[in-house]
Chains A and B, each alone.
Chain A
Amino acid sequence: MIINRRSLLTTALTLGAMKAFPGLSYAQARPLVFATFTGSWEEAHKAVLVPAFRKANADATIVLDPMLSVDQIAKVNAAKANPPIDVMLHDPGPALVAIGQDLVEPYPIEKSACYKDLIAEAQEPMGPAPFFQVVGLTYNPEAVKTPPTSWADLWKPEFKGRVGITNLNSTLGTGWLVEIAKMRGGSEANVDPGFKALEELKPNLAAVAANPGALATLFQQGQIDISPGNFNAIQILKARGVPVEFVAPKEGAIAFKTTIHIVKNSANRELAFNLIEAALTPEVQATLMNPPYLIVPTNSKVTMGGEIARVLAKDTAELKQKFVFQDWKKINEQRSAWIERFNREIKI
């Protein structure tokens, strides 16, 4: 075969086009795309949820495309008619944004076998919660001899220059500020007391991390000894041998419903539903509750055990009593103003 310039160019262009627009080659059969979260969530979903889903769905192909909630929204927003993602996973704030922008479908509750077994807080008609994220106090047991019991302990003089927090970009940072405001008589609609409390916290602040992940680094480096933190993030650190412990404050641990949604106009609606169903089954949730994942289940048929039962809640009744769910609809209304205020006021 003689390769001339023209045929070479044609081949190159075709190959290039197929690379640039992969939809050309498999327009009919795009695999199910699930945008999970990065890090331990992705690992957990890859190891437990995906095999369970494939087993129940004749080895259907599925692609995990981990990214932050806000990035999922941006990506779907850019191609609403033909979204590149079929199943989205959201923190409570972004979930309401996605619903408000009409990016997700109502969950077909009547078809669902597991929905009715979810505890009441996890039943969300626009997309149920397959797990909760829990925020409490994390501390270094080598430096902090008496375990903290309350959010108020962060203000103790003994922690001068030892406290870490995150800014309000994250769900953790915003949720925590609301909780602090509540502790001082505020609410989701009024975080003024929270900002006043932050002002008083300044002598104790060693660092304002740009994201919750950075808090982990700060613990590892001994830059901070105590901070509000995510239960699951701490487990990774503990597994790596970093001296760090989690405790639910007596005011209640902040619980974020992480909700899972079928994207509107998804080409794989049926498979998307099946994936979400798999995520709600007691079997998958029970496996995810065990080490190393320690993900808090939402299906009431799952019996709490292990570290979760020890540190968080023994059963659904205790969970409801110890977890604080926040009103993110109210929070979203003013969140941008708070972020702006935080930018301006919190300089250390």
Chain B
Amino acid sequence: MGAAPASRDVTSYGMGLAVPLALFFLVFFVAPLLQLLWLSLHNDTAGLHWGLSQYQHFLTDPFSLGVLGSTLLLGAEVTLVCLMLGFPLAWLYQRVGPRLQTIIILIVLLPLLTSVVVRTFAWIVILGRQGIINATLQSLGIINTPLKLLYTQFGVVIALAQVQMPLMTLPLITALGRIDPNLDDASCSLGAGSWRTFFRIVLPLSLPGVIAGCTLTYAAAITAFITQSLVGGGQMLFMPMYLYQQASTLQNWPFAAAISIIFLLAVLAVVSVFTTLGRLSRGYGGT
């Protein structure tokens, strides 16, 4: 083994080391994606006639657009719930002793350690007609007939929020941990109240974490096939189920490919909105 020349540019290593992963992505991610695009540009299931009819079909069909819209909305709702519940938890984490911190981290990570299927089935047990919520409300005499929670939009949002919560909380904990606690005190000693300190100091400085958490939660929530179909049921159609139906049951691969490309672009658009917000927030946090 020859020694590397002394004059070798240290920065050239970076590209070389990235080659294996780049090759992996090229073969197993970019190539299939191109194949998907190629397939979506055909008018027939056999893939013989070129054309844009699959896209035309989707984009001129109010029903398909409705499915896309409700999926994107679902993601927004789940993200909002996660943010509302996750932020106080992350904030609390930074203000308690080490023992409580361990407990909080354990609680946050615990869902990640069980399979999504198990977590989702737990929600079926909780939300069902004879589930924990209905049984409790009935025994307290608050309701007479069980509420319909399973197979509703509400049920899906709640279950998804719990399933995806770690993706929101972990970036928030990191972001809040990076804020110098002295800034709080400085703000208070300069006469700002707690709310003012929160909105002018803590929130802007934690925005990178908020953006990262929102992006992760959003992407995970809209593509969560298992939770969506188990808690949402068969009559609530979201993009992943729509895709599955077209690809698997109907074997209509070109239309399924077009759906996935459109879905991909829609998600990219939403994520780029998040990123733009993140870039703007960096300027805001600095002033």
Chain A residues close to B by CB (< 8 Å):
4-5, 68, 70-71, 73-74, 97, 161, 166-169, 206-211, 214, 217, 221-223, 335-336, 339-340, 343-344, 346-348
Contacts and interface: CB of A to CB of B under 8 A. Distances in A.
B234 A210 contact: yes
B151 interface: yes
B233 interface: yes
Given A169-B248, A208-B234, A344-B63, 19 more contacts: A68-B248, A70-B248, A70-B249, A74-B251, A166-B234, A168-B249, A169-B249, A206-B148, A211-B229, A214-B229, A214-B233, A217-B121, A221-B128, A222-B128, A223-B150, A223-B151, A335-B250, A340-B63, A343-B242
A339 B249 contact: yes
Contact of B129 (A5, A223, A339): A223
Nearest to A97: B251
A95 to B, nearest CB: 13
29 contacts: A74-B248, A74-B251, A97-B251, A161-B148, A167-B235, A206-B148, A207-B150, A207-B151, A207-B233, A208-B151, A208-B233, A210-B230, A210-B232, A210-B233, A211-B234, A214-B230, A217-B124, A221-B130, A221-B150, A223-B129, A223-B151, A335-B250, A339-B245, A339-B249, A339-B250, A340-B63, A343-B237, A344-B63, A347-B235
A348 B151 CA distance: 9
B67 to A, nearest CB: 8
A222 B241 CA distance: 25
A209 B234 contact: yes
A322 to B, nearest CB: 29
A242 to B, nearest CB: 13
Interface string B87-130: 00000000000000000000000000000000001001100111
Contacts of A161: 148
Nearest to A217: B124
A209 B130 CA distance: 18
Contacts of B121: 217
B281 interface: no
A222 B129 CA distance: 6
B131 interface: yes
Contact of A348 (B63, B235, B252): B235
Nearest to B151: A207
Contact of B131 (A73, A168, A221, A336): A221
A74 B131 CA distance: 39
B1 to A, nearest CB: 7
Contacts of B150: 207, 221, 223
Interface in B233-282: 233-235, 237, 241-242, 245, 247-252
A214 B237 CA distance: 16
A210 B249 CA distance: 12
The 5 A-B residue pairs with the shortest CB-CB distance in the complex, in nearest-first order:
A167-B234, A221-B128, A208-B235, A208-B234, A210-B229
Nearest to B134: A222
A336 B124 contact: no
A222 B148 CA distance: 12
B241 A210 contact: yes
B108 to A, nearest CB: 28
Contacts of B245: 169, 339, 343
A323 to B, nearest CB: 25
A339 to B, nearest CB: 7
